[in-house]
Amino acid sequence: MDTDFVPFAHTPIPHFKQFTLVNQTPQIKALMTILRNKDTPRRDFVFYSDRLFRILMEEGMGHLPFSEEIVETPTAAKYVGLKFESKLCGVSIIRAGESMESALRQICPHCRIGKILIQRSEDGQAVPKLYYTKVPKDIASRQVLLLDPMLATGGSAICAIEELIKLGVPEERILFLNLLATPEGVEAILSRFPSMSICSIALDEKLDEQKYIIPGLGDFGDRYFGTDH
């Protein structure tokens, strides 16, 4: 059996150099299959989501800026290596983004964490509205990892990115990490903020008329936090 996996070959992946899709290995496909299954129990959904988040964080770290560093090894030899160029800050979009914080802390235990709360207006327009922001005072000097598992229309993410830019974060220092993205969402964000980057585990086919991700995996926050019943 051919194990090569091309995500929705009939769907063009957005031609943005700032968009990175994690290498679609059989393991990635298997883990995503578990999450997409509507019968997967919450315990397994959380466990395998956390595994994927760890993979996503490792991939994301590889896209951060590095500079040369020379160290001496235990054999008294010189090694020309690399070091992170700037301090990090993870910013989660409440509430689903908070599910990604643990994976970030596992690989970067001293990383600062900020929060942004955005909700849809109740006037029938469904317009994202910023309600709360709490980030480190020196966030403008940090590399920001924006965290949200699902990128659908991109509306909430755009609102969060605008807030980060108002706080002094250069656009090119923002890396948006998500589990699942749509071509529409990637297009909306990178067309508006062409200097930032996005890294995703999976790119789905489309949004339907109700703006649901197809094939998707349902409401991530409800399934992860157990509020879907």
User: Considering the domain boundaries, does residue 4 fall inside one?
Assistant: no
* pLDDT at residue 123, rounded to an integer: 56
27 contacts: CB under 8 Å, gap ≥ 6 = none
Q: 126: pLDDT confidence band, cut at 50, 70 and 90?
A: low
For residues 165 and 122, which has the higher predicted lDDT (pLDDT)?
Answer: 165
User: Considering the domain boundaries, does residue 75 fall inside one?
Assistant: yes
Residue pLDDT, tens place only, 172-209: 999 999 999 999 999 999 999 999 999 999 999 999 98
User: Considering the domain boundaries, does residue 158 fall inside one?
Assistant: yes
Residue pLDDT, tens place only, 145-164: 999 999 999 999 999 999 99
Q: 3: pLDDT confidence band, cut at 50, 70 and 90?
A: very low
* pLDDT at residue 49, rounded to an integer: 98
Q: What's the number of domains the chain is made of?
A: 1
Yes or no: say if 115 and 144 are a contact pair by the CB < 8 Å rule. Answer: no
Range of the domain at 80: 19-225
For residues 6 and 152, which has the higher predicted lDDT (pLDDT)?
Answer: 152
Q: 229: pLDDT confidence band, cut at 50, 70 and 90?
A: low
Q: Which of 126, 199, 122 is nearest to 159 (CA)?
A: 126
E strand intervals along 41-139? 66-72, 78-84, 88-94, 112-120, 128-134
Tokens of 167: 């706080």
User: Considering the domain boundaries, does residue 129 fall inside one?
Assistant: yes
User: Which CATH number fits the domain that encloses residue 105?
Assistant: 3.40.50.2020
What are the C-alpha distances in Å from 147 to residues 67, 70, 168?
Answer: 25, 32, 18
Say what the pTM is. 0.89
Given a cut of 60, whether residue 1 has pLDDT beyond it is no
- Cα 68 from Cα 171, distance rounded (Å): 24
At residue 85, what is the residue type? E
Residue pLDDT, tens place only, 79-121: 999 988 878 999 999 989 999 999 999 999 889 999 999 987 6
User: Considering the domain boundaries, does residue 3 fall inside one?
Assistant: no
User: Considering the domain boundaries, does residue 141 fall inside one?
Assistant: yes
User: Considering the domain boundaries, does residue 27 fall inside one?
Assistant: yes
- Cα 118 from Cα 92, distance rounded (Å): 11
Rounded percentage of the chain residues whose pLDDT exceeds 70: 90
User: Considering the domain boundaries, does residue 192 fall inside one?
Assistant: yes
